[in-house]
Amino acid sequence: MTKYTSFDLVGVKENVSNVITNLTPRKTPMQSGIGNEKVTQPLFQWQEDSLRDVADNAAIDGADASFATLTPTVMRNNYTQIFQEAIEVTDRADVISSYGRKREFAYQMAKTAAQVKRDREYALVGKAGDKNAGSKTVASTMAGVQRQIDPSCIEYTGASDGSAPLNEAHLVNALKKAYNNGADVSRIQVTPDNSVVLAGFASAAGRYRTIQGKDAKTIVNVVNLYVSPFGEQKVEINRFMKAGNTLVYEPEQWTNVTLRPWAKKDLAKTGDSSKAQLLGEFSLKHKNFKASALIVEAASGF
């Protein structure tokens, strides 16, 4: 054999991509799109106030003072919730050369960080969970979005408890409820299923979008900005939103609350492996329970 070709090679290294593609969705629009606030106690409180209804206000010349009926503020509260996940990687696994990452421990920790961030988003919008102070044997839990909206600001798609699909009239009614309470909402957050429903609004009679330039042949079937009588609202898809819920809100009215920021804690080494825990303690605040509206398609679990 005078010519040695690739077909003669023995022990060829397998063709494995050095880039690991993580298909797990990581987008967290609620926690990423609102403000942040630090607290010093697991139970935190804030006061909510509102203006009285408008009235005819005309006084005669020289009239005595007319005193307003004063109302107290409303005290709101919520609890912080501990989020955590721990990993353990053997020291041997951490030094073996692997495709796609230099160190297995660092890779698994980065993966854990993405996972607990998703858990936090689910706690915010996905479970309609009640707040709970917790105990020595029960974890404290925070009230999410659904539990921080006034009942008068909930738009049911059915006669009394939902059980009907979202339509544009429900969306407009929810926007109207928020507007009547003095809110100027700029966001509509929907589930993936209801993003398809909103896309149907784009194809309604008389509505169109002009596409020019290099995108002139593009077919558009999406709503990313909804223009209503109550202003313009950006449409956001949240894959963690509770099924059947649509949130109409203003980001400035919501705040991420932090008691303890995310921190990596190295755990005691007890053998031929390394352990670490990623932990943080967070919650959510709605500054005024009437500043947002929620569309509910089913009452079960709400």
Residue 223: other Cβ atoms inside 10 A: 21
Residue 98 is predicted with a pLDDT of 66
179, with CB counted inside 10 A (0-12, 13-18, 19+), is middle
Domains of the chain: 29-49+74-296 (3.90.1690)
Which has more confidence, 298 or 204? 298
Q: Which two tokens stand for residue 240?
A: 């963690």
Q: Which two tokens stand for residue 41?
A: 């106690």
Q: What is the rounded CA–CA span in Å between residue 181 and residue 174?
A: 11
SS3 at position 154: strand
Residue 275: other Cβ atoms inside 10 A: 16
**Spatial strand order in the sheet of 273-286:** 35-38, 254-266, 273-286, 81-90
SS3 at position 19: coil
Q: What is the rounded CA–CA span in Å between residue 178 and residue 171?
A: 11
Q: Is-contact 266 135, C-beta < 8 A?
A: no
Residue 218 is predicted with a pLDDT of 45
Beta strands in 203-244 (DSSP E): 225-228, 231-237
Question: Please, what is the average pLDDT of the chain?
Answer: 83
The stretch 82-107 carries a mean pLDDT of 81
Would you put residue 121 in left (φ > 0), alpha (ψ -120 to 50) or beta?
Answer: alpha
Angle at 300 between CA 146 and CA 119, to 5 degrees: 50
Q: Which two tokens stand for residue 224?
A: 């990313």
Residue 161 is predicted with a pLDDT of 62
Q: Is the pLDDT of residue 107 over 90?
A: no
pLDDT band at 149 (very low <50, low <70, confident <90, very high): very high
pLDDT band at 95 (very low <50, low <70, confident <90, very high): confident
- pLDDT per residue as tens digits for the range 237-274: 999 999 999 999 999 999 999 999 988 889 998 899 99
Which has more confidence, 101 or 29? 29
